A = this chain, B = another copy of it.
């Protein structure tokens, strides 16, 4: 049981986890370095806790005390009660969802850890857009992908916007970094996975590639715009494409991922 502490000064060091949340560049560096991430809103906070993340502290306005009552009753983390204006002053935006939590990151598993026992994995290269990344995790969870592997230059799945867009799926779908890139793809292949690169220039239609019959499949997707790099394409076993209407060059990477995740599980 934590007793809410009223805080009235934006410079209070107890609020430092929540400062400048709109400064993407700052937060992108700071959060992994300090081993924290921010969960925003009641649902996301509950999902993070359910997934076993430890809460460092919570920041909320009075109207959320009731809604979060059971969470407050069960935590030892400090709970900071602030006026809405102070919340905005600290974070830099109007906190619609009323409650924020600073959560402690867990050590990231290795690629070998997440591949163990997996049959269907996504491999993402250069996904720097947090909204796309979150959407892909959400689809991965819904469509039964076992894990996500990220190239070193992919964005952080625990960044606030990615967490929100994923509806908390970043907490439930195991993920790991593949480093060095793309050389460590060899370890994915060695674990028994066929590496399928999704690309509009793919030789084979995804519909006829029969990917759903593969015992283990790794679906490689590249960044919005450029797609997979030549070196990533070269490291793949097959290049497959989603059949598209005449004259259209590409799908949004989130749409392509959803179709690929569906097709690899259902043919």
Residues of A in contact with B (beta carbons under 8 Å apart) = 135, 138-139, 141-144, 169, 207, 242-245, 248, 250-252, 254-259, 262-263, 265-267
Contact = CB atoms under 8 A, between A and B. Distances in A.
Contact of A259 (B169, B250, B258, B267): B258
Given A142-B245, A144-B244, A243-B266, 15 more contacts: A135-B255, A138-B255, A142-B244, A142-B248, A142-B255, A143-B242, A143-B245, A144-B245, A207-B266, A254-B254, A255-B258, A256-B258, A259-B259, A259-B262, A262-B262
Q: Which 9 residue pairs spanning A and B have beta carbons closest together?
A: A255-B258, A144-B245, A142-B248, A259-B262, A207-B266, A142-B244, A139-B255, A258-B258, A142-B251
Contacts of A139: 251-252, 255
Max chain B C-beta neighbours (<10 A), residue from A242, A259, A265 = A259
27 contacts: A135-B252, A135-B254, A138-B252, A139-B251, A139-B252, A141-B245, A141-B248, A142-B244, A142-B245, A143-B242, A143-B245, A143-B251, A169-B248, A207-B266, A207-B267, A242-B262, A243-B265, A243-B266, A252-B254, A254-B255, A254-B258, A255-B257, A255-B258, A256-B258, A258-B258, A259-B259, A259-B262
A251 B138 contact: yes
A84 to B, nearest CB: 23
Contacts of A142: 244-245, 248, 250-251, 255
Contact of A244 (B135, B143, B207, B252): B143
- The secondary-structure label for the interface of chain A is helix
Contacts of A259: 258-259, 262
Contact of A255 (B244, B255, B266): B255
Contacts of A141: 245, 248
A133 to B, nearest CB: 13
Contacts of A242: 143, 262
A256 B138 CA distance: 11
Contact of A251 (B248, B256, B258, B267): B258
